[in-house]
Structure 1
Amino acid sequence: MDALSSLKPKRFGDRPDVIYKTILRSFKKYYLKDFNEATDYKKMKRKMPLQKDLLTMANLYVKERIPESPYSDLSLFIAAVVQQKIPEEADGNERLQELSRTVGDVLYKFNKTKMNSLLVYPQFSYLLSKFLSIDDLLGFIGNKSSSPEGTQNLQDQIEFLRQQCSIVLGRTAL
Structure 2
Amino acid sequence: MLTRRLALLSGISLAACGPANSCSANTGSASTPPASDDGIDWANLTEAQWRERLTPPEFNVLRREGTERPGSSPLNQETREGIYACAGCGLPLFSSETKYESGTGWPSFWQPLDGAVDTKPDYRIWTPRTEYHCARCGGHQGHVFEDGPPPTGQRWCNNGIALRFIPASEA
Q: Which of the five TM-score ranges fits, normalised by the shorter chain?
A: under 0.3
TM-score (norm 2): 0.26
Larger radius of gyration: 1
TM-score (norm 1): 0.25
